[in-house]
Structure 1
Amino acid sequence: MADVRITCIRKQNPQSAHEHITHVGSNGSIWTREQVIAWIEGREHTFYTQDYAGRRADVGVVREAGRAPYLRTYADRQWNNNLLSLPQCP
């Protein structure tokens, strides 16, 4: 099992603050949202982000009725949007 720090994201419309993340990346590798969801739910790998102060936020899967599953970070016992603050993957 790998513990992967996500360092970048891709969205269909990079300018939109509300567009769903389609891909995440780390160290030159990029994966689809669906791949990462499957790995997290299958307990194959864990993912996280880290802020400038070194604080970790674990990435989890959110499933809401009527919506496609999506990735979101969880830190300090709260879901938050740390992924959306990451730069776009090249």
Structure 2
Amino acid sequence: MRDYQITAIRPDPHDTDRLIDGLQIEGTIWPIDKVIGWIRSGTHRFWIKVDEKRVPVIVARRWMAGRHFLTTEHEGFPPHRLLALRHVR
């Protein structure tokens, strides 16, 4: 298992329920579903930098819709720390 830093997000302007479409990891944009799969399977771990500290990115589930989403430890929905990252296209 390897740890990766998420440095930016690609917002999803077409789906209001899905705020993030992709994540930039080591210069490559990966689909959010792929990253969720890696975390859920234990293949990789991800983190973001907040105030010079590593904050783990985790998978949570929206109880009403049952849909998985990414957030950071000790945070819920919407994932404000992830949404605060630089936006890329």
TM-score normalized by structure 2? 0.81
2:30 alignment partner, SS class? strand
Count of residue correspondences: 84
Q: Which residue of 2 aligns with 1:38?
A: 37
- 1:22 Cα deviation after fit: 1.0
| Superposition map of 1:2-41 within 5 A | 2-13=2-13, 20-41=19-40
List gaps (5 residues or longer) in structure 2. Answer: none
Secondary structure class of the residue paired with 1:62: strand
Q: 1:19 offset after TM fit, Å?
A: 5.4
Structure 2 Cα separation of the partners of residues 54 and 28 of structure 1: 20
Structure 1 counterpart of 2:52, from 48, 54, 74: 54
Q: Where do 4+ consecutive residues of structure 1 move more than 3 Å?
A: none
Using the size of structure 1 for normalisation, the TM-score is 0.80
RMSD of aligned residue pairs (Cα, Å): 2.1
Question: Percent identity at matched positions?
Answer: 30
